[in-house]
């Protein structure tokens, strides 16, 4: 672990981590809680995200307006996000304003009132957010893809929830979920930038000692199934997602899968970009991605193209995927590793990236992984490992999601046949 990083665990289980960057004038800090949409029951799908919204809507000390005004009065920025496995609340401020940010973050997580009037209003805001996602095909297709890959289980449900469920979430549901899930042992308070660890620990201990979580979270394992989702819409483009079960954070192929995704469709020099966009002009947007969770993952390719172009795009996409393991080159593997390493090293110049990386590593691995170790593991990935990883992933059951005009889209069985080579 770097000399700049220090950790403290309070008696109740709350972890406090800092990454000191003495050359900057700013500070990013936040609370990362290991609680997201995969920890919800079906009847509460969307409550993690609604809770994230409601945390900013007033406490016993501050109104929603006062929360916004106080952080912006010092030129700070306050935000949050919800994912499938965690929820984060974070602030970026000048170096001397850490105490204000800690006080506000502690206030919204421990003292939110979840006022019924505010909750009624914010439910409507979230419903509008859900509607916006539904109206955006290159957004909502990822939810349908996720649900098809992991049907009838928390990992497959949308982070935003559904309109029906969200409209039914009352104050007791939101407050009860917080008390069951926002436990000290599932929370990391992290800071990166101009920060003194001991002072930060004192501030956090004073503000966060009363985190209420005492219950047992829902921990249902992910069960990948795969399959097909198709939705006919009158659009200018067909949106296509083709993927497979991926791998977890702890898998031995984790680094190889990231190298694979980068050379497959992670940049302008990648195979998919060069063949589908540059050589054939079939799509403006085409890329691959590898998403990892605590126990499973997803590997997929997205493309958006014209109604007629999709007839050529899908066969090319399938061919570039299944043939990849047999004709890799040392040059493209080296180029992908260089892209990944540069991204990691460039992120060290951002206090926000350093703060989030610190918290997420502690959540996922239970330790902070030195940058040198990550770079060494990437350097150690061989062409043989990437090829083996590709064969492993692409031999699995596929998940295929398509939204748009479907007249020129091959049926599911034909696409699966192409993916079998």
Domain shared by 132 and 244, yes or no: no
Name the nearest CA neighbour of 123 among 24, 47, 16, 12: 47
pLDDT at 254 over 60: yes
Residue-wise pLDDT for 81-123, tens only, equals 999 999 999 999 999 999 999 999 999 999 999 999 999 999 9
Q: What are the φ/ψ torsions at residue 146 (nearest 5 degrees)?
A: -60, -45
Residue-wise pLDDT for 131-152, tens only, equals 999 999 999 999 999 999 999 9
Domain end: 180, 208, 236, which one?
A: 208
Determine contact, residues 218/276, Cβ cutoff 8 Å.
no
At residue 210, the pLDDT reads 80
Domain shared by 115 and 252, yes or no: no
Q: Quote the DSSP letter at residue 27.
A: E
The reply to whether 218 falls in a domain is no
Tokens at residue 89, please?
């609340």
Q: What share of the chain has pLDDT > 70, as a percent?
A: 98
Q: How far apart are CA 140 and CA 358, in angstroms?
A: 30
Determine contact, residues 286/276, Cβ cutoff 8 Å.
yes
Residue-wise pLDDT for 335-368, tens only, equals 999 999 999 999 999 999 999 999 999 999 999 9
Beta-bridge partners for 11: none
- Strand order of the β-sheet with 77-82 is 5-9, 15-20, 187-193, 26-33, 87-94, 77-82
Say whether 222 sits in a helix, a strand or coil.
coil
Determine contact, residues 236/263, Cβ cutoff 8 Å.
no
Q: Quote the DSSP letter at residue 404.
A: E
The reply to whether 252 falls in a domain is yes
Domain shared by 10 and 125, yes or no: yes
Domain shared by 203 and 298, yes or no: no
Q: Is 52 a catalytic residue?
A: yes
Q: How far apart are CA 259 and CA 388, in angstroms?
A: 12
CB under 8 Å to 251, separation ≥6 — which residues? 257, 292, 297
Tokens at residue 123, please?
């439910």
Angle value at C-alpha 132, between 307 and 84, nearest 5 degrees: 100
At residue 421, the pLDDT reads 75
Determine contact, residues 186/33, Cβ cutoff 8 Å.
yes
Q: How far apart are CA 196 and CA 243, in angstroms?
A: 45
Domain shared by 197 and 110, yes or no: yes
The reply to whether 258 falls in a domain is yes
Domain shared by 154 and 259, yes or no: no
Domain shared by 249 and 113, yes or no: no
The pLDDT of 190-215, averaged and rounded, is: 89
CB under 8 Å to 26, separation ≥6 — which residues? 92, 93, 94, 95, 193, 194, 351
First CA to last CA across the chain, in angstroms?
45
Q: What share of the chain has pLDDT > 90, as a percent?
A: 95
Domain end: 177, 208, 239, which one?
A: 208
Provide the mean pLDDT of the chain.
96
Q: How far apart are CA 377 and CA 342, in angstroms?
A: 14
2 — pLDDT class (breaks 50, 70, 90): confident
Half-sphere exposure of 383 (CA within 13 A, CB side): 12
Q: How far apart are CA 113 and CA 54, in angstroms?
A: 9
Domain shared by 87 and 236, yes or no: no
At residue 1, the pLDDT reads 63
326 — pLDDT class (breaks 50, 70, 90): very high
The pLDDT of 188-197, averaged and rounded, is: 97
The reply to whether 183 falls in a domain is yes
Domain shared by 175 and 304, yes or no: no
At residue 3, the pLDDT reads 82
Say whether 65 sits in a helix, a strand or coil.
helix
Q: How far apart are CA 101 and CA 74, in angstroms?
A: 10
Domain shared by 55 and 179, yes or no: yes
218 — pLDDT class (breaks 50, 70, 90): low
Determine contact, residues 311/266, Cβ cutoff 8 Å.
no
Residue-wise pLDDT for 45-91, tens only, equals 999 999 999 999 999 999 999 999 999 999 999 999 999 999 999 99
The reply to whether 102 falls in a domain is yes
Say whether 230 sits in a helix, a strand or coil.
strand
Q: Which of 25, 40, 52, 372 is catalytic?
A: 52
At residue 376, the pLDDT reads 97
The reply to whether 216 falls in a domain is no
Domain shared by 322 and 181, yes or no: no
Q: How far apart are CA 421 and CA 419, in angstroms?
A: 5
pLDDT at 191 over 70: yes
209 — pLDDT class (breaks 50, 70, 90): confident
Residue-wise pLDDT for 266-275, tens only, equals 999 999 999 9
219 — pLDDT class (breaks 50, 70, 90): confident
Range of the domain at 168: 5-208
pLDDT at 215 over 60: no
213 — pLDDT class (breaks 50, 70, 90): low
Tokens at residue 250, please?
């702890």
The reply to whether 56 falls in a domain is yes
The pLDDT of 166-177, averaged and rounded, is: 96
Tokens at residue 334, please?
């080296």
Alpha helix locations (H) across 240-382? 254-265, 271-272, 310-322, 330-347, 351-365, 371-379
154 — pLDDT class (breaks 50, 70, 90): very high
Say whether 290 sits in a helix, a strand or coil.
strand
Residue-wise pLDDT for 292-315, tens only, equals 999 999 999 999 999 999 999 999
Q: CATH number, domain at 315?
A: 3.30.830.10
Determine contact, residues 95/188, Cβ cutoff 8 Å.
no
The reply to whether 279 falls in a domain is yes
Neighbours of 145 (CB within 10 A): 25
Domain shared by 117 and 243, yes or no: no
Q: What is the CA radius of gyration of the chain?
A: 23
Q: How far apart are CA 193 and CA 29, in angstroms?
A: 9
pLDDT at 188 over 70: yes
Domain count, the chain: 2
Domain end: 208, 236, 268, which one?
A: 208
């Amino acid at each position: 672990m770097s000399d700049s990083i220090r950790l403290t665990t309070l008696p109740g289980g709350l972890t406090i981590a800092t990454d000191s960057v003495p050359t900057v004038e700013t500070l990013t800090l936040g609370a990362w809680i290991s609680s997201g949409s995969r920890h919800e029951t079906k009847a509460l799908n969307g409550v993690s995200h609604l809770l994230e919204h409601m945390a900013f809507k007033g406490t016993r000390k501050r109104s929603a307006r006062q929360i916004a005004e106080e952080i912006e009065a010092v030129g700070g920025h306050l935000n949050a996000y919800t994912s499938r496995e965690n929820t984060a609340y974070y602030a970026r401020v000048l170096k001397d304003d850490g105490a204000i940010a800690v006080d506000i973050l502690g206030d919204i997580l421990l003292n939110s009132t979840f006022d019924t009037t505010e909750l009624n209003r914010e439910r409507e805001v979230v419903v509008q957010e859900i509607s916006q996602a539904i109206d955006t095909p290159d957004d909502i297709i990822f939810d349908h893809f996720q649900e098809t890959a992991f049907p009838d289980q928390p990992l497959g449900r949308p982070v935003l929830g559904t309109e029906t469920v969200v409209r039914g979430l009352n104050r007791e549901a939101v407050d009860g979920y917080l008390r069951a899930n926002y436990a000290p042992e599932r929370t990391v308070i992290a800071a990166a930038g101009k920060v003194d660890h001991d002072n930060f620990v004192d501030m956090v201990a004073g503000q966060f000692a009363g985190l209420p979580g005492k219950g047992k979270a829902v921990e249902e394992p992910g069960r990948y199934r795969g399959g097909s989702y198709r939705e006919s819409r009158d659009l200018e483009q067909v949106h296509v997602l083709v993927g497979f079960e991926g791998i977890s954070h702890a898998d031995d192929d984790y680094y190889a899968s990231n190298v694979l995704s980068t050379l497959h469709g992670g940049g302008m020099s990648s195979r998919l970009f060069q063949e589908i966009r540059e050589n054939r002009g079939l799509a403006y947007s085409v890329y691959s991605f590898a998403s990892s969770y605590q126990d499973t993952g997803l590997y997929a390719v997205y493309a958006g193209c014209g109604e007629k172009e999709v007839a050529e795009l899908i066969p090319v996409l399938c061919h570039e995927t299944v043939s990849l393991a047999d004709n890799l080159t040392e040059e493209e593997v080296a180029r992908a590793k260089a892209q990944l390493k540069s991204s990691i090293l460039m992120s060290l110049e951002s206090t926000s990236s350093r703060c989030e990386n610190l918290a997420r590593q502690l959540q996922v691995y239970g330790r902070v992984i030195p940058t040198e170790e990550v770079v060494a593991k990437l350097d150690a990935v061989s062409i043989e490992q990437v090829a083996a990883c590709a064969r492993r992933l692409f031999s699995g059951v596929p998940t295929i999601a398509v939204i748009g005009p479907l007249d020129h889209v091959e049926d599911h069985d034909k696409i699966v046949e192409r993916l079998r080579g």
